[in-house]
Structure 1
Amino acid sequence: MTVRAAFLALSWPLESACAASRVRELGEALAATSDWGLAHAAAGLRVWTSTHAPLSLEAIDGDRGVLIGATFPMPGAPPCRELPDATPRQLIAELSRRRWGRYIALVASARGGETWVYRDPSGALPGFAWSLGDGLEVVGSAMTGLPAGVGPRWPLLNWDRIADFVAKPAVCATQVLVDDVVAVQPGEALRLGSTGMSDVVWSPSAFAGNPIDDLDAAADELRARVSACAASLVGGYDRAILEVSGGLDSAIIAGSLHTTGRTSRIVEAINIAFGRPESDEQAYATAVAARAGLPLVQRQHEPSALDLSDLEAFAREQRPSANAVDPKWDRDEIERIRETGAEAIISGQGGDAVFMQMAGAGIVADAWRVKGWSVLRDPVLANVARRTRRSVWEVLRSARAEAVGRAPPVEGLWSSLISREVRAATADLKPKWLREAENCGLGPGKQLHIHALARFFLNEGPSRRRHEADVLYPLFAQPVLEHALRIPTPALAGSSYDRAFARSVFADRLPECVLNRRAKGIVTVYFARLIANSLGWLRPYLLDGCLAEAGVLDRARLELALSPEHLIWAAKPSDILWAVSTEAWVRHWQTRVPDSRTAPRRL
């Protein structure tokens, strides 16, 4: 099982006796494992959940479907209405407006015939769908580690998707790299058996296009939503661990839990230091934990070397994950989970994107839309210039270019290791959320905001700790997302230092040292040293590997990137780490399944 809280659902047409017979056989196989328990049985639908950490289930509109996972009332929304004649799409839209949480919803049409699956916008629970034939459809939190006959029939290696993933992992974070399986996307509804037909139910652009004018009211509501979401998520567990990096976002979570009285559920806070002065935030973490009244456990990591056996063990997961390259973090947290009996890990990750830590000329372009030429007198112009270390004229010129769609492509989106052919093939590859923002005519700054939110889903990749505990991200909860999207980017990120709006909103919940901090812990050097200490085996592993042979990675670029001098002065360690984790994944799966017939490797 890939995650601690797992589920598996089978859906079939009532008139199919063959499918019903197969469901009985598969149910017996699942029961024989002792890992699965039948949690929901209805006409044409069965749902099993992990016996180790059973997910809660709730019926939807009588017998129209089932909610899998934890849900909470949306702030200010009335309860869900019963809509007996509604289509599955209408029921799902109603659900998304009135509930939030960590859930998957399965909804059938009133007279049977079709079933839809919806994944909540936070993407907290994974969802994969595939067909077993005879109208029998499967939805699960994982597509690996299942009894024989339940998993995908033809999960062939799709080399177009593999190349996309290596080129732009943040864009493809929620995709699968094999045929015959569809990943249900956050905020989307998928009709089972439709070979990938999905509808966008929840879109960031819908909220970003309705900005808030009253920033005082926006601040009050942001405080309330962060408090409510953190308290609600933590309230589902008796014992949890809080990650405290020492940065702003985890400090906001700690302060919010303290304010709402939920720190009684936190058994301890944990801080990981990465053995370098530029990444050591222990003093800040100590202040955060002390203010929240929490005991703090600190762990020091030194950049030893990558372990190939760790990569190979992790390659069995359903998709590559950078979490495999530095397993010490996972192991430290697993040790504390087992020691304390914690059932969940609370993290402030996602706050960088939600509170808009990044700066760019697009923020000025957004201000220009509202203020016109008077933006020249607005502090936002000088502030963005200061943060980006450019002259105000350079920023202004870039802002005007972005406003009319003439900005050059952002080099940071691409891996620096891919071949020229792959770069050309992925030139137009963007997150769907960003493409929607462009189509809706949102300003460049808000597009930057939405793009950062889409990149968050890299955090939802497989990890060892997810086998042991649920990982919760209160700052990426749907109510917080919707509200933050409505706050104009010049307010969120137009100050002379990062996340000034969030700092002011939560000032009374933060230690003074964190509130006044202007730098951020940097782990680039740590991971560059990790790679440098691994070059003995890493160079031939990548240079002679499957990705280079298939023309996904460029050997000349690899040679340069894996030189000690380059790692010191110009390293992009994330590119190398994503490449090596994907290489290990491909090597594992190519011994088990063949290449796709429609997207084979390019030799």
Structure 2
Amino acid sequence: MDLGYLIILKRSGLLTKALDLGLKPVQRASGLRLGASLTKLDLFVGSSTDLLELPNGTLLVGRLFDHSGNRIRDASSFPALTQLSEIRDHLVSNFWGQYVAIQGGGDPQEPITVLRDPSGGVPCVYLTDSDPAFITSDIALPERLGIYQRRVDWTTIPYYLNYPHSKKRQTALAGVNELLPGCVIKLGPQSAHTSIAWSPWTFVQPERRFKDATQAALGIRQTVEMAVRAVTTGEASILLELSGGLDSSIIASCLRGTDAKINCSTLVTPVPGADERFYASLVASDLDAPLHVEQLDFGAAAFNFPLVSNPTSPAVTMLQQATDSLMERSARRHASTCHLSGGGGDTVFGYLGNASPAADAFRASGIFSGFTAIRDLAELHRCTTWKAGRLALKKLLLTPRPARVADTAFLTPFAVTSKPPSHPWFNAPAGALTGVQERVFDLAGTQSFIDGLPRSRLRAFHMPLLSQPVIEACLRVPSWMWIAGGINRAVARDAFSDALPPQVVARRSKGTFAHFTGALFRRNRLAMLEFLMEGELQQHGLLDTVALESFFRREHHARNETFARVFDLCMIENWIRHQH
């Protein structure tokens, strides 16, 4: 989707030598058009990027909806607010979408502020310690203008080795930071300060909880349907990435009545585990849409692949690259205008997999709810009530798990960091329930999903289950309601029980790529070992080469989770090599 933009800040009132040629050369070099030229900034946007002018000079790049799913195309829906902070608060409280909002560019008395929407649907990275400073959706844009030269920030690489796929403000490129979803950056003459404009902790407060399962199911059903309808309205042809699991099937059910042409695509591999055609075919048949089976072959997955997009930190694994390329080819073949995915469903639908929901029920809802949740937990995990109760008691008594646990496998002591990951959502309020904390921590992890999907830069990519209104509605569901009756994601199943094939509603199993990744490792292990042993991570003294060689030369079970660690190391090494 064309959501590209570049903001060039004119702190001194003058453009630097790199931009002295004027605005037209900037547009030619960046491929963007001039959206606004203000006293303190120039805003360049993509040829089809939506640019909306809101009250008091606020500029919004991207797409905006109200909570009924209506597209906002002008400022008539906004009250006559004058304070910039009031406009931001009104924006995040009454609207949602994929956007960045820019304020203060034309007012000499106001600092420049940029707000990124809570879903993080539009990328936003910035560099403020240069002249000119810039804010952009794609680091390649200032590179083309000669105002930035990418360099790996080796001080941050240990963080990404210890906490792969975990967002933080500082990227792995020198000087470049990311404005995290739901945050605001305020730029003064010589300073930059970030703060939170939207927090998930607001929606887990006791007064915001749904009172019963019926109310929760209705709220989830209405919100998900609204979000899917909103993001797909206007699309001519949709490629629905359909596994046949609960989450993608729910998205499919919301497409009934759409005017768009729908093609469904599902993946299979040469080894067992990921073939979900039976369930996907039921859903596609209900939707009266064709199901296309895409074969993910071993040869399609490389660990030393070129980066299609320009991620500012390591983000794309070999499995993600292979599935991404396959789905993008499918979209081109069917002339789809967008991808539609159920990504993030496990997280938003409360799939915790431990005893936290029962512990939460005891603390927040009393003994009766607590014992009911223990029985549900025992049924869900096929264990005795005694064991479920013991695990719930441990959750009640022990300190909640940290937001992230460092993975130090195959790292030298020099690469191990004692500094815990920082994220504005990791600061849990006093008294927060254990299960609630774990859900919010997991939700922060979904912010990296879009970075691992290069196809999202080529055409619209919609993940409505990670949209702001769906996240807010799901956070209002108490954790113990998600396991009611001994069923995972129970509220979502109940909400869409009459809209899905019974086999999908009753399904408890999940597809897995474990056998495929195990086979990938065995086929590529000598080449992967050479890739890491002769790479830049090793040259910088970050890899324990003895441990690596020992691991690579052992025989391994197909479901050994250590494969994922090796793939992450290759992901980071591959990203570094492509920064030159």
TM over 0.5: yes
Query: Following TM superposition, by how much is the alpha carbon of 1:149 offset from its aligned partner in structure 2, in angstroms?
Result: 4.0
Q: Which residue of 2 aligns with 1:158?
A: 153
Q: Which residue of 1 aligns with 2:424?
A: 432
CA separation of 1:424 and 1:252: change in aligned 2, threshold 3 A: same
2:117 partner letter: D
Alignment of 1:484-563 (within 5 A): 484-563=474-553
CA–CA distance in structure 1, aligned partners of residues 413 and 366 of structure 2: 40
Q: Which residue of 2 aligns with 1:600?
A: none
CA separation of 1:503 and 1:112: change in aligned 2, threshold 3 A: same
User: C-alpha root-mean-square deviation of aligned residues, in Å?
Assistant: 2.9
Match of 1:50 among 36, 46, 49: 46
**2:82 is aligned with 1:80:** no
Alignment of 1:163-312 (within 5 A): 163-172=158-167, 175-192=170-187, 196-209=192-205, 210-258=208-256, 261-262=257-258, 264-304=259-299, 306-310=301-305, 312=306
**2:111 is aligned with 1:117:** no
CA separation of 1:19 and 1:430: change in aligned 2, threshold 3 A: closer
Q: Which residue of 2 aligns with 1:67?
A: 60
CA–CA distance in structure 1, aligned partners of residues 309 and 446 of structure 2: 22
Alignment of 1:574-585 (within 5 A): 574-585=564-575
**2:312 is aligned with 1:318:** yes
CA–CA distance in structure 1, aligned partners of residues 517 and 15 of structure 2: 50
Q: Which deviations, in whole Å up to 9, do the C-alpha atoms of 1:491-532 show, x marking residues without a partner? A: 023542321211111111111221111100011221121121
CA separation of 1:508 and 1:586: change in aligned 2, threshold 3 A: same
CA–CA distance in structure 1, aligned partners of residues 443 and 2 of structure 2: 25
* Count of matched residue pairs: 571
2:501 partner letter: P
Q: What SS does the aligned partner of 1:269 have?
A: strand
CA separation of 1:566 and 1:359: change in aligned 2, threshold 3 A: same
Q: Which residue of 1 aligns with 2:73?
A: none
CA separation of 1:169 and 1:228: change in aligned 2, threshold 3 A: same
Query: Following TM superposition, by how much is the alpha carbon of 1:390 offset from its aligned partner in structure 2, in angstroms?
Result: 5.5
CA–CA distance in structure 1, aligned partners of residues 532 and 406 of structure 2: 21
Match of 1:356 among 350, 358, 370: 350
CA separation of 1:507 and 1:373: change in aligned 2, threshold 3 A: closer
Asked whether the equivalents of residues 188 and 198 of structure 1 are also in contact (C-alpha less than 8 Å), the reply is: yes
Alignment of 1:558-573 (within 5 A): 558-568=548-558, 570-573=560-563
Query: Following TM superposition, by how much is the alpha carbon of 1:326 offset from its aligned partner in structure 2, in angstroms?
Result: 5.0
Q: What SS does the aligned partner of 1:69 have?
A: strand
CA–CA distance in structure 2, aligned partners of residues 26 and 363 of structure 1: 59
Asked whether the equivalents of residues 324 and 463 of structure 1 are also in contact (C-alpha less than 8 Å), the reply is: no
CA separation of 1:415 and 1:497: change in aligned 2, threshold 3 A: farther
CA separation of 1:549 and 1:424: change in aligned 2, threshold 3 A: same
CA–CA distance in structure 2, aligned partners of residues 421 and 367 of structure 1: 43
CA separation of 1:187 and 1:572: change in aligned 2, threshold 3 A: same
Percent identical among aligned pairs is 23
Asked whether the equivalents of residues 61 and 100 of structure 2 are also in contact (C-alpha less than 8 Å), the reply is: yes
CA separation of 1:585 and 1:170: change in aligned 2, threshold 3 A: closer
**2:25 is aligned with 1:29:** yes
The alignment's TM-score, normalised by the length of structure 1, stands at 0.87
Query: Following TM superposition, by how much is the alpha carbon of 1:206 offset from its aligned partner in structure 2, in angstroms?
Result: 0.7
In structure 1, the gaps of 5 or more residues are 593-603
CA–CA distance in structure 1, aligned partners of residues 383 and 413 of structure 2: 30
Q: What SS does the aligned partner of 2:133 have?
A: strand
Q: Which deviations, in whole Å up to 9, do the C-alpha atoms of 1:431-489 show, x marking residues without a partner? A: 431x22x2343101111111221111231115442342111111111111111101100
Asked whether the equivalents of residues 176 and 183 of structure 1 are also in contact (C-alpha less than 8 Å), the reply is: yes
In structure 2, the gaps of 5 or more residues are 71-75
CA separation of 1:448 and 1:352: change in aligned 2, threshold 3 A: same
1:120 partner letter: D
CA separation of 1:117 and 1:404: change in aligned 2, threshold 3 A: farther
CA separation of 1:466 and 1:372: change in aligned 2, threshold 3 A: closer
The alignment's TM-score, normalised by the length of structure 2, stands at 0.90
2:45 partner letter: T
Asked whether the equivalents of residues 169 and 180 of structure 2 are also in contact (C-alpha less than 8 Å), the reply is: yes
Asked whether the equivalents of residues 267 and 340 of structure 1 are also in contact (C-alpha less than 8 Å), the reply is: no
Q: Which deviations, in whole Å up to 9, do the C-alpha atoms of 1:206-260 show, x marking residues without a partner? A: 11113221332222121111111100100142222111111111100010111xx
Query: Following TM superposition, by how much is the alpha carbon of 1:272 offset from its aligned partner in structure 2, in angstroms?
Result: 1.2
1:382 partner letter: R
Q: Which residue of 1 aligns with 2:96?
A: 100
Asked whether the equivalents of residues 306 and 534 of structure 1 are also in contact (C-alpha less than 8 Å), the reply is: no
Q: Which residue of 2 aligns with 1:597?
A: none
Match of 2:322 among 321, 324, 328: 328
Q: What SS does the aligned partner of 2:42 have?
A: strand
Deviates more, 1:209-218 or 1:390-399: 390-399
CA–CA distance in structure 1, aligned partners of residues 545 and 400 of structure 2: 30
Q: What SS does the aligned partner of 1:566 have?
A: coil
User: Runs of 4 or more off by more than 6 Å in structure 1?
Assistant: none
2:6 partner letter: L
Deviates more, 1:163-172 or 1:74-83: 74-83
CA–CA distance in structure 2, aligned partners of residues 552 and 349 of structure 1: 33
Q: Which deviations, in whole Å up to 9, do the C-alpha atoms of 1:11-35 show, x marking residues without a partner? A: 335xx44249876636333322372
